[in-house]
Amino acid sequence: MARKIGSRYTAHQILGRGSAGTVWLGEGPEGAVAIKLLREDLAADQELVGRFVQERAALLGLADPHVVGVRDLVVDGNDLALVMELVRGTDLRTRLERERRLAPAAAVAIAADVADGLAAAHAARIVHRDVKPENVLLDMQGPLGPGGAHPALLTDFGIARLVDVPRRLPQTPAGGSTVPLRSTKVIGTPDYLAPEIIEGLPPRASVDVYALATVLYELLAGFTPFGGGHPGAVLRRHVTESVAPLPGIPDELWQLLLQCLAKAPASRLRAPELAARLRELLPSLAGMPPLDIDEPEDEQPEDAPESAAGTRDEAFPPPAASGEATPPRGAVPLVQGTAPDSNRDTHTSMRVPGPDELAGGAHGTARAPRATGERRAGSARHRASPEAVRRRRIRLGAAAAALVVAAGLGGWLASGDDDAGDATPGVHQSGPDAP
Ligand SMILES: Nc1ncnc2c1ncn2[C@@H]1O[C@H](COP(=O)(O)OP(=O)(O)OP(=O)(O)O)[C@@H](O)[C@H]1O
């Protein structure tokens, strides 16, 4: 059933649902578009509407072949909508679920495209903050690239920021210089969160590079480097553990991944350099099959961190809702009449764990993947079936997933306050306010 969105657009059918709203296939004066209609409760939030309007110029101005362009922002009665370029194809999560692991050339080509998109955003002083396979769309109408990869476009710019509740934190002690800020809530999707966000620092461009490197690892391995188990355990691993090597991965690619997954933001490459280095690797990866590795063992519930009192700590609440009933994530189909992806709740809020909580886990290497058939001696853990892994991913990705977008928002006052360690000085999440 068609419905009008503002005076210029008509929404025809649902393409899918995310945590912030529903995406519709629609039409406007310039042809077919995708319209993201934000949830009613968000649309009723006057502050959020204000931020929408404020961010308008930044969102509309971000033009790059690897960024899903925002064409318009509509504020009309109860409707709050982002009108976007329509990408005819699928999202990267759907492709990954179908193939489990991508050939290195395809994975690297997709990551290079996303790095290009990030480079454009960072140049415009916008940090994405929620880079993950769900937010990468594959344009099936674009030319086939290396490894059979269609062009990749990064979407959902600004959504995390808009839906978030930025707070201007007290800036300076009496007569002193700016205090380093710690946020009190963590936002994002646990598997892709950079350690500095978990530690409460404002998100800089380098968090996107870390998230993209996590996505690339996942495309190659079929699982993320620090995922698995309770969301709190995932957060802790980001901060305390090193990445387990992937058997069979070409060394240069591994070194690149390691550099971008560095705990120290300053050690990571910037997005333009990452894009260039990935593209340089492409010829050497041509024809290489997907890596032949097993999933790591599933995590046990005891991975959930415990407080000093020995009870599950409130910093790590259980996922808001079970993902078991969540249907598979939808594609962005060329086809019509798609059912909504899910009725996922919006971002789950977690408070930033304290240093003791983060240090609670053993320092070590994340669950080591093994070459196929290789047994792990003495392991008491059972191996997860692919189905269990899939369900675990959905649980984490969907329910606990978008851990919140509540704070980190020291970034709003980041102007002139970039930490020296930032890979892209001057970049912060508040596009339009940026100096
Ligand atoms: N510009 C677009 N063109 C075509 N399909 C799109 C476009 N943007 C989003 N979609 C599709 O709409 C569905 C919902 O997208 P949405 O961005 O709302 O959620 P998400 O990114 O999957 O999840 P979340 O917002 O919770 O992170 C997805 O299947 C996505 O592939």
Cα 135 to middle of ligand 1, angstroms: 7
Cα 263 to middle of ligand 1, angstroms: 30
For the CA of 16, the closest atom of ligand 1 is 13
Distance from C-alpha of 198 to C-alpha of 182, rounded to nearest angstrom: 10
> Domain residue spans in the chain?
1-86, 88-164+188-292
Note the helical H segments in 124-250.
Answer: 159-163, 195-198, 205-221, 231-240
Q: Is the CB of 64 under 6 A from ligand 1?
A: no
**Residue whose pair of structure tokens reads 């000085």 in the numeric block:** 425
**Cβ contact 133:215 at 8 Å:** yes
Q: Is the CB of 341 under 6 A from ligand 1?
A: yes
For the CA of 135, the closest atom of ligand 1 is 21
**Residue whose pair of structure tokens reads 């901060």 in the numeric block:** 239
**Residue whose pair of structure tokens reads 């058997």 in the numeric block:** 247
The answer to whether the Cα torsion of 260, 210, 245, 293 is positive or negative is negative
Q: Is the CB of 89 under 6 A from ligand 1?
A: no
**Whole-model pTM?**
0.73
* pLDDT in single tens digits along all 435 residues of the chain: 788 999 999 999 999 888 788 999 999 999 999 999 988 888 888 877 877 777 777 778 899 999 999 999 898 888 889 999 999 999 999 999 999 999 999 999 999 999 999 999 999 888 998 899 999 999 999 999 888 899 999 998 766 565 554 433 333 333 333 333 344 456 678 999 999 999 999 889 999 999 999 999 999 999 999 998 888 999 999 999 999 999 999 999 999 999 999 999 999 999 999 999 999 999 999 999 999 988 776 555 444 444 433 334 444 444 433 333 332 222 222 222 223 343 322 233 455 555 555 554 444 566 566 555 443 322 222 333 444 444 444 333 333 333 433 222 222 222 223 332 333 333 333 333 232
Cα 218 to middle of ligand 1, angstroms: 20
Q: Which overall architecture, per CATH, does domain 1-86 show?
A: 2-Layer Sandwich (3.30)
Q: Is the CB of 152 under 6 A from ligand 1?
A: no
Strands in 320-379 per DSSP E: 350-351, 364-365
Q: Indicate the DSSP class of residue 371.
A: B
Q: State the complex-level ipTM.
A: 0.96
Q: What is the CATH number of domain 88-164+188-292?
A: 1.10.510.10
**Cβ contact 66:153 at 8 Å:** yes
Cα 324 to middle of ligand 1, angstroms: 20
Q: Indicate the DSSP class of residue 113.
A: H
